[in-house]
Amino acid sequence: MIKNIIKNLKPSSTLRINEISKNLELEGKKIYKFGFGQSPFQVPSDVVHELKNNAYQNKYLPMQGLSQLRTAISKYENKKNNKNYKAENVIIGPGTKELMFLLQILFDGEILLPAPSWVSYAPQSIIAKNKFHWIKTKSENNWFPKAEEIEEIILKNKNKKYLMILNSPNNPSGQICKNLKEISDVVKKYNIIILSDEIYSELSFNNDYESISKFCHDNTIVSNGLSKWCGAGGWRLGYFIIPEALNNYRDSLKILASETFSSVSAPIQYAAITAFENNHDEYISSSRSILKRVGEYVYENLKSNKVNINKPQGGFYLMPEFLISKFSSSEEMCSNILEQTGVALLPGSDFGFSKERMIARLSFTDFNGKEMMKNIKKSKEIDLNLIYEFAPNIVEGTKKLKIWSESL
């Protein structure tokens, strides 16, 4: 028998839309893959080189992660966020998703999730049997909660322990949280634990990212990895940095790790040392510039009196809201868009919005990142011609989506 709690879950919507898109392509249909958020860029060549050099590494590594890698990550984060982390504060996992799930399993309390939030936070809460609360947000505040909106939920549920997950730059909105100090005041007042999902932090378009750990260090677990800034989603390497004040969480995570994934792939860990030790400023800067220009192209061509949309500030995503009432749910709307235009989007209901709001997540990564990166190094700027040449699916898909929205 399968537990009811599992029976009622759907497969991860991001992975599901990727499979649907692939199957439709196999049927000969033209699909614009705006549903799956994956870096369009190749892994830096020096990191790939180290993976090849370490392919022979076949021994189990320590469950907390390779010591040299944890040292490299602590130094990387210290420089980035002006911290004083040590290798002992770092725990390596097979992607941040697994570490987040283990944290939810061990946490004895309730979960606070800003709506919108990444698709897997809430299902993980359900599997871990944690009660979770959606915190309503507004586009005027970049789709992040205000202090009073967080406090309102806490005051309704007194004497509880809370873990709040904060993701900035945000998936699905593409926005950056600008009121971290205000949020941190509430965090410290009620001793909330923060899981700061900073997986897109290197991809803030104006390089203006701040970690909430700057304002509430002792309450903040920082989560990051290789998948977004390094283009290595399929390598599955992520990490938590846990401050000394939360050592009990680190120790418990190590126990859970020993009984689940044991340790992360050895060749991947050795290669990752190079990712964090070597200078990849040019690679990251080029990635930011390209994503910013492509995101702004979609934004400029999609916004209208029928589509509300915030200009992207980081990451891979936009979150258009279609001002229509033809459909009963955002899922029905996205199905219609896919059927009518071939554009694959994810419904806002997967991210914590009510199904009646016609919101969708759009990933603008369906383009040739390798060639775009190569050409930006030559031209030093990204004009429309580069987008037309190396991002034709972005151009065509955006046009089809705009025509669809105007036809309603």
Mean residue pLDDT of the chain comes to 94
Show contacts of 247-255: CB within 8 Å, 24+ apart.
Answer: 249/103, 249/106, 249/193, 249/221, 250/89, 250/91, 252/106, 253/91, 253/99, 253/102, 253/103, 253/106, 254/63, 254/64, 254/91
Q: Which of 22-26, 92-96, 109-113, 136-140 has the least mean pLDDT?
A: 22-26
Q: Delineate the domains of the chain, giving CATH numbers in brackets.
A: 4-43+281-406 (3.90.1150.10), 47-277 (3.40.640.10)
Q: What is the rounded average pLDDT of the residues 235-247?
A: 97
Check pLDDT > 80 for residue 216.
yes
**Gap between the Cα atoms of 22 and 38, Å rounded:** 14
Check pLDDT > 60 for residue 171.
yes
Q: What is the rounded average pLDDT of the residues 6-32?
A: 82
Give this prediction's pTM.
0.94
Check pLDDT > 60 for residue 359.
yes
Q: Which residues of 233-268 are buried (b: 16+ CB within 10 A; e: fewer)?
A: bebbbbbbbbbeebeebbebbeebbeeebebbbbbb
Residues 6 or more apart in contact with residue 15 via CB below 8 angstroms: 36
Instruction: Grade residue 380 by pLDDT with cuts at 50, 70 and 90.
Output: low
pLDDT at residue number 17: 77
pLDDT at residue number 20: 82
Residue corresponding to tokens 């699905």 = 172
Instruction: Grade residue 379 by pLDDT with cuts at 50, 70 and 90.
Output: low
Q: Which of 5-19, 89-103, 136-150, 199-213 has the least mean pLDDT?
A: 5-19
Query: In angstroms, how far is CA 150 from the centroid of its own chain?
Result: 21
Check pLDDT > 60 for residue 37.
yes
Pick from 166, 171, 153: which is nearest to 110 by CA?
153
**111 phi and psi angles, rounded to 5 deg:** -110, 135
How much of the chain exceeds pLDDT 90, in percent? 86
pLDDT at residue number 378: 58
pLDDT at residue number 207: 85
Instruction: Grade residue 377 by pLDDT with cuts at 50, 70 and 90.
Output: low
Read off the pLDDT of residues 307-352 as tens digits, 9 standing for 90 and up.
999 999 999 999 999 998 789 999 999 999 999 999 999 999 999 9
